[in-house]
Every structure is written in C-alpha cells, then in structure tokens.
Amino acid sequence: MLKRFPMPIPFGWYFVGYSDELKAGEIRSVHYFGEDLVLFRTESGAAGLLEAYCPHLGAHLGDGRIDGEALRCPFHEWAFNPAGACTDVPYAKRIPPRAANAGCMRSYPISEKNQVIWAWYHPHNEAPFFDVVEYEEMASADWSKQQRFEWKFNSHPQEISENAVDVAHFKYIHKMEGVPEGETTIDGHQRLTVADGERKYVDPQTGIERVVRSRVESVQNGAGQKLARFSGVVDLVAMTLVTPIEADQCEVRMAFSHKNMPEDAPAFQAAQMTIKLICGQTGIEGDIPIWNRKIYRANPILCDGDGQIMRYRKYFAQFYAEDFAVDTAAQSSNVS
C-alpha cells in the first residue's frame, strides 16, 4: 500500500488550547501527537498536559478532578502534578519511589504566550531547545480581540506549511495573480520571509480600485508556530496554528488581530475582507480539498516556476528526530 506521508510527527511547540478557554480547575480530554491526553489547569492557574491513563491501574484522568495543584485520578485518588509526578496516594504510607519521580507518566512542557497554551512535543521526550516566540501585538491593549477559526482534515504539518512557498498554486487554486516569493532568511529554527510590492485594493466604501504598497512579513518558529504581519492596506497579524492529531491528521487554527478601530472605519472593513480572503476559497478553504487527498512526493519533478519548495524542505528537515532521514538530494537536480 502507498503510504501518504513517510514523515513522522515533527518536534516543536504546538497549540493545545487557548489560554482564556481553559479555566482554573478545568480538565479537558484531548488527542494530539497520536496519543490520548488530558489538558488541565490547577487552582493557582498552572496548565498541564499529561498522558491520559493513570500509571497505577490505567483509569482515564479526564474523569478525575483538580485538587489544589494536582490532578487526582477518579479510580484511587492518586494525585499528579503537571510535571507528571505523583504527589499523593491517600491510602498509602508512602508514595512508590518510581511514581514520585517527575516523568512517572508522560508530561509535556508548557508555555503560555500569545493567548495560546503551547506544548512541546518530541518523540524521544527531549527537553525544549528553543522557545516560543512572543508577539507584542497579542499582548497589546491597542490590538483587537482575536478572531479565531478552526479546521480538521487529513494532512501533515510539513505539507500544510510548505504550501506557502508553492507560489504557482496561488493562481490555480486561489485565482490570485502575481504573488511575490519575497526575500527569505533562515536562522536555525527560524525562517523569515518579507514580501514588498504593489497590490490592487478595492475600497469597501467607494468601490474604487486603488493600487497600494503592501508588505507581508512571515515568521516561522519551528514546525508549529507561524505569524504573518500584513501592512499597507491594513495592519493585521495572523497566527497559523497547526497541531498534529496523528501523523496524517491535523487541526489547523488561525487567530487574527488588528489595530483597534471603529467598525465603520474603512480600515476595519479592509481587515475583515482580508480575513475572509485568507480563510475562504481564496485561502485555506481552497487548499483543504487538495491537502485532504494528496500524497507526499519525496523526489518531485519540479520546473523553474515552482518556487523554493526544496529549499523549504531542507529547512523543515531539522524538525525530525535523528532516526528519520529526509532526502534532499534532488534539491538542484530535479528542476526540468
């Protein structure tokens, strides 16, 4: 049988929840990274993400309760902190030494930035070796409340993020002309692309078409964190949040924010139009039917108009564990 994606789940920081949607004392059953998990918040406000099944006798911790700074199992009331250590066995004289150590059950490092709960995933449980990037717009009172959108479909994080450098598809899927590749710089796990140019813009109030100078700055920080900053017609930021459910299934979210302004302002209308374009058929919803059924070609036949696909794959390859090799030998030889 043909396997759609030979790649495993890449390591990195991934969205597992919005901060304002997980209240103190709440427990939520989730499934990410090919595993049943529980996301919870202690009474003091610390978030935790643990494997779902108690290491004692296997009860599902999603049916448990929060007790102070711990999550208690519904079966025997064993208590576990966000680091995955047992902190109490109510009927025992002492906690078993193996259970008392952090990591007696799998836990995921957590970072809360940009109004998002991020979890670090690594297939070998290696500790984080880079941080979540914090965006000043998402913490500023001058910027609007996030507008959030969500989709779930069958694909892989590399396939979804590679889409941005596939410049040729914008014409045929999104009916867009003249999408610039921009200038790209790579610094370790971070990738920055800046595209400056002129674009046509229809004023939503007058209906008059204008040509304006616009700029899009895209910053990628590992496999699961990306932000695009738009300026020119409107100041807008768009977070793209891709989280693998399994190696061949993902949840994709987008969260937008713009400068605070009256709803009847032309810039506000322009922001809403841009959001609609990014999320609709001219954006992600145009791509989903393709992503849902396509396969990954490790050695594609490319032409001179296909953009930086192989360069992007070489950048993304660093987010796979050492036991997985990504073939980039065709980078210069497969363009016909």
State the Cα–Cα distance between residues 64 and 78, nearest whole angstrom.
Answer: 10
pLDDT band at 1 (very low <50, low <70, confident <90, very high): very low
Return the percent helix, strand and coil in the chain, to nearest 5.
20, 35, 45
Tell which wins on pLDDT, 205 or 115. 115
Instruction: Check: CB of residue 250 under 8 Å from CB of residue 161.
Output: no
Which one, of 8, 24, 226, 35, lies nearest residue 118 by Cα?
A: 226
Which residues lie closer than 8 Å to 220 by C-beta, 6 or more apart? 161, 190, 191, 192, 226
Amino acid at 78: W
Instruction: Check: CB of residue 221 under 8 Å from CB of residue 133.
Output: yes
pTM of the model: 0.92
pLDDT band at 332 (very low <50, low <70, confident <90, very high): very low
Which segment, 102-106, 195-199, 201-205, is predicted with the most confidence on average? 102-106
* H-helix or E-strand spanning residue 159: helix 157-162
Give pLDDT tens digits for 233-264: 789 999 999 999 999 999 999 999 999 999 99
Distance set, CA 200 to CA 33, 164, 169, 228 (Å)? 41, 20, 19, 19
The structure tokens listed for 214 are: 């616009």
What pLDDT sits at residue 233?
76
Instruction: Check: CB of residue 306 under 8 Å from CB of residue 326.
Output: no
What pLDDT sits at residue 25?
98
pLDDT at 13 over 70: yes
pLDDT at 335 over 50: no
DSSP 292: H
State the Cα–Cα distance between residues 83 and 243, nearest whole angstrom.
Answer: 21
Give pLDDT tens digits for 151-200: 999 999 999 999 999 888 888 888 876 566 679 999 999 999 998 876 65
What pLDDT sits at residue 174?
86
For the chain, domains (ranges, CATH) are 12-121 (2.102.10.10), 147-298+305-311 (3.90.380.10)
What pLDDT sits at residue 198?
63
